[in-house]
Amino acid sequence: MLKSDRWIRKMSQEHDMINPFSEKQVRDGVISYGLSSYGYDLRVADEFKRLVDREHGIVVANVTSAQPLEPADLAAIAERVQAMAGARVEVQAAVDPELIGGLTVRVGDRLIDASVRGRLARLRDSLVAGAR
């Protein structure tokens, strides 16, 4: 969904999306701040999408696994995250072989680490703490 320049201007001022914001950026009623011909700076696109998602009750779950996951697995993860977050979930999947096995799920500032690498790191930390 596209928002009007008036809405973008209001959100940029209220949520500090374009910093520093200057009235000189507004030409003929259109915000012109940088690389985008659409009237808003592409450097704020991620924050803009996050605000729109929040407005629509959507959270993003970044799922990283050691191996590519099947669509059914991603759907099951989305269902569990939706139950935890109480919001609709958009899953973004990535592969990181350094996890060795398992996966991590990040929603906002919350991280669920069910990877082999994470388990080994926690085991190492507990052994080091026990040796003191």
pTM attached to this predicted model: 0.63
Give 75-115 pLDDT, tens digit per residue: 999 999 999 988 999 999 999 999 999 999 999 899 999 99
Q: What six digits make up the tokens of 12?
A: 């940029």
Instruction: Give the whole-angstrom CA distance, residue 92 versus residue 62.
Output: 5
18, 25 Cβ separation under 8 angstroms: yes
